[in-house]
Chain A
């Protein structure tokens, strides 16, 4: 099985930076994903890490350390539209399992 942990909620100010941490324990590892989900909508893909290191994509960056079972999603230059739930998901040999999600609230 898999155990995926991430904080429940985070609040930040518009224009600031927020880092969402995710720790996991899995019986097999084939990549870690970050998704953004707005209320009542399906998740949208943000990033994918399978090797250690930092992946940067515009305002969003994701980091992975496989030896530590740890990842983070970094959101820079926060905008109001970034208020959403951010889901950490780990893929084992055949399926993707999700963490409970971190609700990020961006305040003006």
Chain B
């Protein structure tokens, strides 16, 4: 089946630093990738939708200057959390979609802890 690789799986950083999370589709071309955030015991909240070669579409309330998304190729999307603060500590998950496929394939998630 389709595989989406996400790394790092866990990162601990100091407040004020930036963290980059990568999401790769290993065996298919992902025209669209989605980034979700999940706080403990809560559901996944969509942050933004990225389409290859174009600017990401951010959900209401998500700061685009803080959460930079780049989808430079059909197999790679990156999320950069800039000037991270403790309140950004969360579980970040990417998912990838191929064309009009009805299923999304999820990465394994990144647990971000900002000290």
Which A positions have Cβ atoms within 8 angstroms of B? 30-31, 33, 40-45, 48, 50, 87, 91, 94-101, 103
Which positions 79-115 of chain B face chain A at CB distance < 8 Å?
Answer: 91, 93, 95, 102-109, 111
Q: Which residues of A contact B108 (CB under 8 A)?
A: 41-42
**Closest A residue, CB atoms, query B4:** A42
Which B positions have Cβ atoms within 8 angstroms of A? 6, 32, 34, 36, 41-46, 49, 91, 93, 95, 102-109, 111
Main secondary structure of the interface of B (DSSP, over half): strand
* A-B contact sample (9 more), CB < 8 A, given A87-B44, A94-B32, A95-B34: A33-B103, A41-B108, A42-B107, A43-B93, A43-B106, A94-B49, A95-B49, A96-B46, A96-B104
Complexed CA–CA distance, A95 and B44 (Å):
12
Complexed CA–CA distance, A82 and B14 (Å):
37
Complexed CA–CA distance, A50 and B36 (Å):
23
B43 touches A40 (CB 8 A): no
Known: A31-B102, A45-B103, A95-B34. A40 touches B42 (CB 8 A): no
Task: Choose among B32, B42, B49, B111 the residue that contacts A100 (Cβ–Cβ < 8 A).
Answer: B42
